[in-house]
Amino acid sequence: MSFQPVKFYQTGTFTVGNRLLAPDERSVQAGQQRSNAINSGHRACQGCGEALGARYAIDAAMAASGGKLIAANATGCLEVFSTPYPESSWQLPWIHSLFGNAAAVATGIAAALKVKGKQDVRVVAQGGDGGTTDIGFGCLSGMFERNDDVLYICYDNQGYMNTGVQRSSATPPAARTATTMPLGPEPGNVFGQGKNVPEIAMAHGIPYVATATVADLRDLEYKVNKAMSLHGARYLHVFVPCPLGWGTASHDTIRMARLAKETGMFPVFEAEQGEVTSVLKIRHRLPVEEYLKPQRRFAHLFGKNAHPEIIERLQAIADRNIRKYGLLDEEGK
């Protein structure tokens, strides 16, 4: 029989914590002293992937910066549920300006810190996919191009959920949204080319670009850490399922992220200076149906008036990701 090297502690690196690991090897989230950057009492929906992803990412960045961190936030769910007057959930200096300018606001903060000689204080900008891939894209690109010292984190839930689930340029093909209803011969969102912001970020040649999901905390924390160890423009694209917008059970948020990665629908990788340096391999490859079926936004592809041809096209997208990024290991599983 072939032995795996004794690399793991019962649950390997998959669980949040592990009592058997040395303290310095534990995740930030496992710590009793984690900053809980976004505190209890926020008004995110039950099982919100974005609330979770934001805490994962910002807590990690807080840990990496020794608590010296400032965040700029785009308009969107994250902003609305965290800071309705008179209460804020944020535990770090935080500013919300507009929907489309988080990257630029962060640039301004970074400039102020630089001129004041406070470069030990680090800056993150964050927004949803709408605030990143659509309305905030100009500012984001400008921030990249100038290589401003900002880590931009996009929490991608594939649509405008705050306004009632409309399509964004991150909405996947065939998905139902309030503006791409499952009607007519091509139900749901169009099969466009999509707007792959991680790749566009890489095209800017910035120091670091990575994708991650809320299903793999250790990977996400590694990437935040890596990003925080560098200066200049950095981009982290975190996949955060939305129970409300996707029509999934609130307890399935992490499972959906896991399935997106395991089917190849969402490739998880990192890139430095525009070149992919590592990918997170698929552990147990699954057909896209496994990912699509639990989501009501894809319900029109199944059942009585099923659209197997559309599922095939979605599978082709997953297959292409798998091929392009090399998401399977040598054994091809």
- Contacts (CB under 8 A) with another protein, residues 218-257: 243, 249-255
- Looking at the Cβ atoms of 156 and 272, the one nearer to another protein is 156
Please identify, using beta-carbon distances, which residue of 115 and 332 lies nearer to another protein.
Answer: 115
Q: Counting contacts by CB under 8 A, is residue 200 touching another protein?
A: no
104 touching another protein, by CB under 8 A: yes
Query: Is residue 290 within a helix (H) or strand (E), and if so which, with residue range?
Result: helix 288-292
Integer-rounded Cα radius of gyration of the chain? 19
User: CA angle at residue 194 from 189 to 128, to 5 degrees?
Assistant: 85
Closest CA to 135 of 165, 166, 107, 169: 169
Does 109 sit near another protein (CB under 8 A)?
yes
Give, as ranges, the residues between 41 and 70 that touch another protein (CB under 8 A). Answer: 41-44, 46-49, 51-52, 55-56, 67-70
Closest CA to 118 of 68, 165, 56: 68
Size of the site for another protein (CB under 8 A): 95
Provide, rounded to whole angstroms, the least separation between the CB of residue 39 and another protein: 4
Tokens of 110: 């970074």
Selected binder of another protein within 57, 60, 78, 101 (CB under 8 A): 101
Kindly state whether residue 139 participates in binding another protein, applying the rule CB under 8 A: yes
Looking at beta carbons only, is 65 or 169 nearer to another protein? 65
Placement of tokens 């297959």 in the chain: 319
Could you say whether residue 36 binds another protein (CB under 8 A)? yes
What span, in angstroms and rounded, lies between the C-alpha atoms of 51 and 144? Answer: 25
Q: Which residues inside 161-190 make contact with another protein, applying CB under 8 A?
A: none
Complex with another protein: residue 52 or 224, whichever CB lies closer: 52
Helix (H) or strand (E) holding 55: helix 49-64
Find out whether 96 and 106 touch, Cβ atoms under 8 Å.
no
| 160 touches another protein by CB under 8 A | no
Cis ω on the peptide bond leading into residue 93 (within 30° of 0)? no
The residues with which 90 forms a beta bridge, in sequence order, are 38
Report 74-93 residues binding another protein (CB under 8 A): 79-80, 82-93
Residue 105 near another protein by CB under 8 A: yes
A 10 A CB-CB count for 13 gives 16
Q: Considering the rule CB under 8 A, would residue 121 count as an interface residue with another protein?
A: yes
152 binds another protein (CB under 8 A): no
d(CA 56, CA 266): 19
Q: Does residue number 141 form part of the binding site for another protein (CB under 8 A)?
A: yes
For position 27 contacting another protein by CB under 8 A, the verdict is yes
